[in-house]
Amino acid sequence: MEWISAAVVLLVLTSGSPVKAGKCPKECSCDNAKLSVACVGRNLTEIPPTIDEITVKLNLRNNNLQMILKEAFIHTPHLTHLNLQLCNIIKVKEGAFRSLDRLLSLNLANNKIDVLYQESFDGLSSLKELHLDHNRIEEIQPGAFAQLGFLNMLTLTHNQLVYIPNMAFQGLQNIKRLRLSHNSLNNLAPEAFAGLFSLRRLSLDHNELQFFPTQTMTRLPEVTHLDMSYNPMIYLGEESVSMGKLTHLHLHHMALQDLSDEAFAHAHLLSHIDLSHNQLRYLEPLSGPKELTNLSLTGNSIYCNCYLRPLREWATAGHVKLMGACAGPPHLSDEPLQAVTSLDLRCRGRGEALEEEDSKGNITSTTKPRQTVRCPSNCDCDTEAHHATCESRGHTKIPRGFPSSTQLLDLRGNHFHFIPASSFPGSAQVVSLHLEFCKVREMEGRAFQGMKGLLYLYLSDNDLTTLDPRAFAGVPMLTYLHLEGNRLTHFPGPALSLLPNLFVLHLERNAISKLEPSGLLSSVAPTLRGLYLSNNTITGIAKGALCSASIGTVHLDSNQLTEVPIDALFEAPNLEELNLSHNPVTRVGPKAFEPVSQSLKRLFMDQMETEQMSEDALLGLGPGLKSLTLRGNHLKVLPDLSSFTSLEVIDLRDNPLLCDCNVLPLRRWMKNVRLEVSAMCSHPLELRGQQVRDINIFTACPEKMSPPNKEAVREPRPAKLQKAKPSALRSPRVRTRPQKAKLDRPAKSLHQRKSATTAKNKKTGNNKN
């Protein structure tokens, strides 16, 4: 479609403009009627300087350009199509395409680009298609696509992306298709796709996602087609897919062993679900989708006995076409699912019959065909799925004798009290171990000895007061550790120092009151990225205690801090998110965040009883800051916000603002940002309840308070802003974008994210932060 419209544009252009018999560089062939120039496969190391200025199509495919310099195409400003495939390009300098504001299609596929810089695509304000597939892209810098407000399609397949950071695609407000297939993605930040309000089709197939990125996907309100195939997911939990407009979902060639019948509960419009080539043996009727027509189970080992009957009946009643065939029992082998009737689906053996009786409404946990497998008594071992569970069965000792292939071991809700050394022999394959709500008071050193593959350990909601320094000896791969909801009084540094791969640590809801000594984090957990310490009783943090090159997220909300613990963070060059809400910090002094000002993107300071913030409190933080909340404090005067030009979330509500001339800088800033900012006056009395943006008192303000150009208050001319971040306002389309939705959405979604995380944690234990 884009090509057709491009062709139309081209036609109009060609017929409308006089065709000069232009010069043609000797390495190229030129079609003067079509205004196109092709210099293909000539081993060129630079762009021929004599290309005619009126050229609209330039094909430089298969050359040896290596680097695209700043303003490389300044002499051909009329280009609509530019092909730079196979040009050995390693680097695209910032501003490389500046001047190409008519370009519709840019092809940079099959090169060696590894980083997309913030301003690599600066100036391409009409671009519709961008091909970046088959490169070596590992990093997308924030704002890389910020100016591509007209882009329809972006292809990033066959690159080396591992992680997509928050806001990576910000600015693509017209994008319809995004292709991220064939990368190595194993993690998507919750706001990775924030701002893609018009995206329809997303492909993430052939990556390494182990869990369905529920939180990330809920930020995509318009997506209808999602391809997640070829990712190593084992399980889809309840409400995993919460995408209101999704119609086509591809989940084939994954490693699904189980699927909650509620997995699609919030995807009502799904019509096609492809679950082919997984390891499913059963499936329950799916609740949620009301328009389902095709459900593919091809290439699974579907066992056609009485437990499949509910699915068969549901499919018949709802006119859902079931694709695939039975894998057993023998007399039904290879029979198409669509052909078997409810009556064919029987249970013969005594064991099966018994199960049938007690499994009404409880099919998943009991319907797997019973094989005589090694399994401790009063537990269920599913060798197909590699799951073993003894959840809430009243065990008082850790059961032994699980199948050695077990990968998920769920022991939550028992009463172990004490976990002795080597409690899990023969569990080297276990990846995820659940021990929540087990009343564990003590764990001996080497409790998990031998669990060489353990990545996730859930010890939440127990009664641990201290940790043996050797508690985690023998589990070197441990990456995600949940210790929230215990009674730890100290940061368990010595125990953690045995975990060289620790990435996320949850310590919320403990009784930790101090963090010391200095250098704590860098010495005990050199790879730690997320540290969650909410709801402890922390009053002080030693200088440098949280310094760490790896730390990205620190939650210290709901503690007893009386000042911003900035000394603790003076060397945390990658800190992006800091939550200080609900701490009694009455005053915030100048430059309180300066040490982390280069990296900080999200700062939360709600309900802190703060009465006073220095005007320079946030000095140093600047365009990098994306979220700032100061809600529910006692601030009469807000600090200077003028450097925040790229905020996506701001919450200033519930502060008793004094609306006199001092509020003028705030008002000026509000008029310059593309956010609808709510800030209400409390004083003086006659302005109480009015929004700062609506008041009109400034004519009386002394000269030094008023803006250099008085017009500016009424008719904002964002000159300053433009300088700080050219991307923000250059294109007129960007400016007229509806503003309110943008503010509301991330603010709400933060909240949703939190509750979604909690719910998911509880239900599946599969949360990967």
Which residues sit at the interface with ligand NAG, rule CB under 6 A? 43, 45, 64, 272, 293-294, 321, 361-362, 365, 508-509, 534-535, 555, 557-558, 579, 581-582, 604, 750, 754
User: By C-beta, is 307 or 604 nearer to ligand NAG?
Assistant: 604
Q: What's the rounded Cα separation, in Å, for the pair 667 and 657?
A: 12
User: By C-beta, is 626 or 674 nearer to ligand NAG?
Assistant: 626
| 274 in Cβ contact with 298 (< 8 Å) | no
Q: Which residue is nearest to ligand NAG (CB)?
A: 557
Instruction: Provide the token pair at 722.
Output: 């433009």
- Tokens 């009502």 belong to which residue? 268
The residue length of the chain stands at: 769
Report CA-CA distances (Å) from 493 to 228, 449, 459, 497, 539. 39, 19, 16, 6, 18
CB of 117 to ligand NAG, least distance (A): 25
User: By C-beta, is 393 or 543 nearer to ligand NAG?
Assistant: 393
222 CB-side CA count, 13 A: 14
User: By C-beta, is 508 or 654 nearer to ligand NAG?
Assistant: 508
User: By C-beta, is 195 or 445 nearer to ligand NAG?
Assistant: 195
CB of 348 to ligand NAG, least distance (A): 22
CB of 484 to ligand NAG, least distance (A): 7
- Tokens 């189970």 belong to which residue? 297
CB of 80 to ligand NAG, least distance (A): 29
Q: What's the rounded Cα separation, in Å, for the pair 469 and 298?
A: 50
User: By C-beta, is 133 or 355 nearer to ligand NAG?
Assistant: 355
CB of 305 to ligand NAG, least distance (A): 19
User: By C-beta, is 449 or 579 nearer to ligand NAG?
Assistant: 579
CB of 319 to ligand NAG, least distance (A): 8
Q: Do the strands 442-443 and 418-419 form a parallel or antiparallel pair, or are they unpaired?
A: parallel
| 265 in Cβ contact with 290 (< 8 Å) | no
CB of 421 to ligand NAG, least distance (A): 31
**What do you get for the CA distance between the two ends of the chain, in Å?**
39
| 609 in Cβ contact with 585 (< 8 Å) | yes
Q: What would the DSSP string read from start to end of 166-226?
A: TTTTTT-TT--EEE--SS---EE-TTTTTT-TT--EEE--SS--SS--HHHHTT-TT--EE
- Tokens 């198409």 belong to which residue? 336
CB of 580 to ligand NAG, least distance (A): 8
The residues near 365 (Cβ < 8 Å, ≥ 6 apart) are 359, 380, 389
User: By C-beta, is 365 or 404 nearer to ligand NAG?
Assistant: 365
User: By C-beta, is 487 or 737 nearer to ligand NAG?
Assistant: 487
CB of 422 to ligand NAG, least distance (A): 29
CB of 337 to ligand NAG, least distance (A): 13
φ, ψ dihedrals at 740, nearest 5°: -65, -45
When computed from its CA atoms, the radius of gyration of the chain, rounded to whole angstroms, is 30
Instruction: Report helix, strand or coil for 328.
Output: strand
The residues near 742 (Cβ < 8 Å, ≥ 6 apart) are 195, 648, 674, 675
Q: Is residue 573 packed enough to be buried (19+ CB in 10 Å), middle (13-18) or exposed (0-12)?
A: middle
CB of 448 to ligand NAG, least distance (A): 26
User: By C-beta, is 129 or 284 nearer to ligand NAG?
Assistant: 284
